[in-house]
A and B are shown apart, each in its own frame.
Chain A
Amino acid sequence: MRASFTLILGLPLFVAALILPFVVADSYVVHSAAMVLYFAYMASSWNFVCGYVGQVSLGHAAFSGIAGYASVLLFTGLGLSPWIGMILGGVLAAAISVPVGYATFRLKGPYFTLTSIAFAEIMRIWLENTDEFLGIPLKGAQGLTVPPVGGTSLLAFQFDGKLPYYFIILAMLVGVMAATHVMERSRLGFYLKAIRGNRDGAEALGIDPTRYCLTALALSAFLTGLGGAYYAQLFRYINPERNMGIDLSIDMAVMTIVGGQGTILGPTLGALVLHPVGEMVRATLGGHVLGLHLIIYGVVLMLAVLYFPKGIIAPLQRWLTPAPKTTVTVVTPKEVEGR
C-alpha cells in the first residue's frame, strides 16, 4: 500500500522534476530547484536513520562537513576527482558516526540527540580554529575553496551551466529514496520499526537495538556525506559554519518532521514546501522589513506542525489512497495482579 502511494505521488513529482529545467529555462529557477532537491536529499538522508529509529539527530551537519572537507581536500591536495572524494568522504563520515552512535544508542532517552549536537559543535569549533592539522591545510573559519579548472569537466565535477548540477542532485535524491525503499523492506527496516515501536519488546525478541541503529546511522552518515560533498562542488566553497553548523542539522530535521518522518517521500515534501516558502518570502520581503521573512517561515513551520503532526504527507496519503475499511484492535498489556 505504501509503495503504491509512493509511486502515485512520487512518479508525477519525478516527471515534473525531469522536465522542469526544459520548461523554465531560467537559471535562477533551476538553481533554486537544485537547492530544493539538495535539501530534500539531505532531509531524506537524515530520515534514513532518524525517521525510522525515532531518535532525533541534531548533529547530522557534521557528516556533511566531514565528507565535504574530505572531498575538497582530496581534490586540491592530491588531485583526486571529487567523485571519488565524495565516496571516500562519505565512508569517512560513516566511520566517524559509529563511535558516536555506539556510545549513545545503548542508552534510552535524549542522550543520542544531546550527543549529536555536542559532537557536531565540537567538530565545527575545532575546524573553525584549526588552520592546519597533520600538515593538511584546513584554513579554519575561512573555509576552503574549490579552484575552478576552467570550463566544464565531468571528472572535476565542474560545469559551466546549472543543468548538470540539477540532474546530479536529482539522481542522488532518487537514489536515496530507492535506498530507503529497499531498507524499509529489508530485515534492517523491520528491525528498526520494531525498535521504534517498542525497544524493550524488540530486544526481548532478540533484536540488538544498538547494532541495527548503528548500521542505519552509518548508512545515513554516508548518504549525508555525499550531500555535503555535492554542496562543496555546487558552490565551490565550504566553511565550517554553514556545512557543519547547527542550522543545517535543524533544517534537515525540520524538513523531515514537517514532511513526514519514517516515509520515503516525506522529507522531500518537507523540502518542497519549506524551501520555496523561505525563498519566496526572502525574495519579496528580504530587503524591506527586518527579519519578517524569518518570522513568516516560522509561522508556516508552526502551522505545519500544529495541523499535520505526522507530516504533510499524512493527509495526502489519506486523500490519494483511501484506506480500506479495517478494524483495528488495540491490545493493551494488562497489569498482572500482585506484581
Chain B
Amino acid sequence: MIRQILGGTLALATAAAIGLAPAQAQPQDVTVGFVLPLSGGSATIGNQTKLGAQVAAEQINAAGGIASLGGAKLKLIFADSQSKPDIGASETERLIQRENVSLLVGAYNSAVTFPASEVAERYKTPWIVTGAVKDEITERGFKYVFRPNNKATYDAREQLDAMDLLKKETGKGPSSIGLFYEGTDWGRSHAANIKKFAKERGYTISLDESFPPNQVDFTAQLLKIRASKPEALIVVAYTPDHLLFTRQYFENKINIPYGIHSVGGGSEDPSFYKAVPQKAVDYLFVQEDWQIDRLKTDKDPRVLDANTRFKAQAGYDINSYGAQGISNVYLIKDVLERAASTDREKIRDALAATDITSGMPLIVGYQRIKFDEQGQNTFGHGVISENIGGERRTIWPSANRAPDTKPVWPVPDWSAR
C-alpha cells in the first residue's frame, strides 16, 4: 500500500518534472498582430491572407521556430477591421496595448491601412503593409511602416512594361491604346496612371471610356470600342462588369490585335473563369498580384507543402492574397532571425535592413525585398499573364516567365480562332 502510494507519488513527480522542465526552457512566443477585413465586403480577401499567414506560421513553428530566439514560436493574433478605418485604428490600438504585439501586419484596405498604420507609428511599433496599394501609405516619412507589395502606380507601369517587352521581343506592338474602366477611385486613378506612362512612352490613347459599376448592357460601349479601333485595350472592372463585358465582347467578336489587358479585379477572381467560355478569355492579358503559375514552376517543397495545407482549408490553391500572407510571415521570420529580439525598436531596425533575394518571402513572385528610406519595397511587383491554352501563364517580367511559355503576340483574329 505504502509502496503503491510512494510509487504513485514518484510517478506523478516525474511526470510533473517532465512536464515542467521543457515548459521552463521554452522560449517566449513572438506575438504578431494582424489587422484584416475578416467580415464585411472584403472578408474573402482578408481570410485568404489570414489562412496564408497561418499556414506559414505552422510551417515555421514545425521547423523549429525562430532559431536566434532559441526556437521561439510565432503566435499570430488576428483582429477584424470590418473594412472600417476607425475600427481598424481601434483594433491596432488594442493589439499594441493589450496583446503587446512585437509587430503588426495589415490591413488590405488602403482606407484602413492609412489611419491604422499611423497608430502603429505613434506607438513606434513596426507595421508591415499587406495588400494596400495607396501610394501615400509609404510617402509620409514614417519610420515604422514597411510595404513589401507594390504601389498603385506600379500596376499601370507593369501593363505598359509588358507591352514594351513583347514589342522588343517580336518587333511588333500597338501604337494606340484604348482605356475602358469603371468610374470608381480604382478605375479612374488607374486610367490616369496609364495616360501618364503612355505619354512618356509614346503610345496614343485612342479611347478613354469610363462606365458606372454594375452595368446591365455594354452594347453601346462596345460600338464605341469597335469604332475607335484601339490596337490594345486596357480594362478595369470587378467581377460582375468584367463578366458581362467579356461575354458581350466575345459575342461581338471585335478584333483587337494586341489584345485585352485587364488590370485584375474581376479577371483575378476564380469565379470569373467558371462563368465564361474558355474561348472568350483566350489570349486575355491579366495584371496579376502574384505569379499565378508559380505552383507549376516552383518545386520548393515548402511551397508545395504550403499549398497542400492551404488547399485543405480553403478548397482551392494559394492565390495572390494567400501568397501575400505567407510572404509576410516568412519576411517576419527573416527579420526576427536578424533582430534576435522581440524588442520593437530592434525589429524595426532589422526590417529597415532587410535584403532578401531568395526563399519563401518571395513566393509572391518578387526577385528581392529591400525597402527604400520610405519603407517601400521598390522591387515589389505583380506579373502579367496571358491566357494560353486555357492557362494563365506569366509572360512578364521575363525573370518570372517559365521557359516553356511562348507569348502569343499579336493575338489571332476571331476568324482564325
Contacts and interface: CB of A to CB of B under 8 A. Distances in A.
B184 A247 contact: no
Contacts of A32: 90, 93-94
A148 B189 CA distance: 25
Contact of B185 (A128, A145, A235, A294): A128
Contacts of A131: 188
B235 to A, nearest CB: 18
Contacts, number: 95
Contact of B97 (A27, A35, A160, A294): A27
Nearest to B136: A145
Interface residues of A, number: 33
Given A247-B84, A286-B79, A142 B110 contact: yes
Nearest to A295: B39
A290 B84 CA distance: 16
A279 B185 CA distance: 30
Contacts of B111: 141-143, 237, 239, 241-242
A143 B114 contact: yes
Given A142-B110, A242-B85, A290-B39, A129 B183 contact: yes
A279 B90 contact: yes
Contacts of B118: 236-237
B85 A235 contact: yes
A286 B184 contact: no
Residue in A35, A241, A286, A294 whose Cβ sees the most chain B Cβ within 10 Å: A286
B57 to A, nearest CB: 13
B184 A290 contact: no
Interface string A27-67: 11001100100000000000000000000000000000000
B89 interface: yes
A286 B78 contact: yes
Given A35-B86, A237-B115, A142 B185 contact: yes
Nearest to A141: B185
B98 interface: yes
Interface in B89-116: 89-91, 93-94, 96-98, 110-111, 114-115
A28 B185 contact: no
B134 interface: yes
Contacts of B79: 282-283, 286-287
Interface in A283-305: 283, 286-288, 290-291, 293-294
B85 A282 contact: no
Contacts of A145: 114, 136
Contact of A242 (B77, B84, B136): B84
B90 A35 contact: yes
14 contacts: A32-B94, A35-B86, A129-B188, A142-B110, A235-B89, A235-B115, A237-B85, A239-B85, A282-B79, A282-B82, A282-B91, A283-B94, A287-B34, A294-B39
